[in-house]
Amino acid sequence: MERLYDEIPKERFLDVEENYKVICENINEACYKAGRDPKDIIFMAVTKTVPVELINHAIDLGITHIGENRVQELLSKYDRLKLDNCQAHIIGHLQTNKVGKVIGKVSMIQSVDSEKVAEEIDRLSEKAGIVTDVLVEVNIGQEESKSGISAEKTVELLEKISKLKSIKVKGLMTIPPFCDKMEDTMVFLSNMQKLFVDISAKNMDNISMQYLSMGMSSDYKEAIACGANIVRIGTALFGARNYK
Ligand SMILES: *Cc1c(COP(=O)(O)O)cnc(C)c1O
């Protein structure tokens, strides 16, 4: 079979094109059902384990936001990514000692879940003369295996971050627990929506509730029904991940 690059078969590029179209149609349909405008939804491509050539292909198709989980992987791809019209976000748990490596490189850190990491982002952003946008990650299912702050402690953390000058909260992010039944997932998605709406209504100083980042390959349509405006999609766009 014809090959465009050393290791990536042409078929995979065509799959991404087809998947991209299908996901856009699904987003449009979910918006129609929910009475929402598709223009308000950010379709973020999640790029862990995905080769740069395929990511750039997705960007050529119209992807405007990509999300990487690990700092090291992002940095290894960074210089080859077509980021002129595309934002890169960190969406995985960020260790305090890695913050310096991404400040000024990423447009947003979606996974802030402690005062400690927020203070480090603030300190290094101030040093660089910039303000870094972040989302606070909420562990809506209270799973021990997951990072994120509990729903009960979210306001308290937001209050602390709001006092920092070089970090700006733009909303909330979550990964709901994996459930066999979509109706169970929906409970977590709507609990998250409720938290988002409640916090928005507080109009906290220096906190903007602009983005609700939730929904992945298996539940982005339902997440849109529950108010998400950033959906983070990996597998449905790029195919199953190969961690080899
Ligand atoms: C991997 C990942 C996704 C995408 O998951 P898929 O099921 O492959 O769409 C979204 N968000 C985060 C934080 C992830 O780590």
- pLDDT at residue 242, as a whole number: 78
Asked whether 92 lines ligand 1 (CB < 6 A), one says yes
CA nearest to 67, candidates 95, 42, 47: 47
- pLDDT at residue 243, as a whole number: 72
For the chain, what is the largest distance between any 2 Cα atoms, rounded to a whole number of angstroms?
A: 58
pLDDT for residue 7 is more than 90: no
Query: From the CA of 2, how far away is ligand 1's center (Å)?
Result: 30
Q: Which is more confidently placed, 243 or 118?
A: 118
> pTM surpassing 0.85?
yes
Helix (H) or strand (E) holding 14: helix 10-34
pLDDT for residue 2 is more than 60: no
pLDDT for residue 244 is more than 70: no
Asked whether 69 lines ligand 1 (CB < 6 A), one says yes
Query: How much of the chain exceeds pLDDT 70, in percent?
Result: 97
Which residue spans within 164-233 are E strands per DSSP?
167-174, 207-213, 230-233
Query: From the CA of 60, how far away is ligand 1's center (Å)?
Result: 21
Confidence category of residue 59, pLDDT binned at 50, 70, 90: very high
- pLDDT at residue 6, as a whole number: 64
Average pLDDT along the chain? 96
pLDDT digits (tens, 9 = 90+) for 205-228: 999 999 999 999 999 999 999 999
What is the β-pairing status of strands 42-46 and 167-174? unpaired
* Cα dihedral across residues 155, 216, 186, 147: positive or negative: negative
Position in ligand 1 atom list of the atom nearest CA 236: 9
pLDDT digits (tens, 9 = 90+) for 17-51: 999 999 999 999 999 999 999 999 999 999 999 99
Distances, alpha carbon 100 to alpha carbons 96, 97, 127, 155, 171, in Å: 8, 7, 10, 26, 22
C-alpha torsion 69→130→55→209, nearest 10: 70
pLDDT for residue 3 is more than 60: no
- pLDDT at residue 5, as a whole number: 54
Asked whether 140 lines ligand 1 (CB < 6 A), one says no
* Residue 64 neighbours by CB distance under 10 Å: 12
Burial of 243 (0-12, 13-18, 19+ CB in 10 A): exposed
Mutate to test the pocket of ligand 1, among 27, 44, 232 (most ligand atoms within 8 A of CB): 232
Helix (H) or strand (E) holding 108: strand 108-112
Residue 129 CA to residue 131 CA, distance in Å, equals: 7
Length of the chain counted residue by residue = 244
pLDDT for residue 166 is more than 90: yes
pLDDT for residue 241 is more than 90: no
Mutate to test the pocket of ligand 1, among 54, 216, 218 (most ligand atoms within 8 A of CB): 216
Query: From the CA of 99, how far away is ligand 1's center (Å)?
Result: 21
Cα-flanking dihedrals φ and ψ of residue 44, to 5°?
-90, 130
pLDDT digits (tens, 9 = 90+) for 106-134: 999 999 999 999 999 999 999 999 999 99
Report, as an integer, the average pLDDT of 121-148.
Answer: 97
Report, as an integer, the average pLDDT of 130-157.
Answer: 97
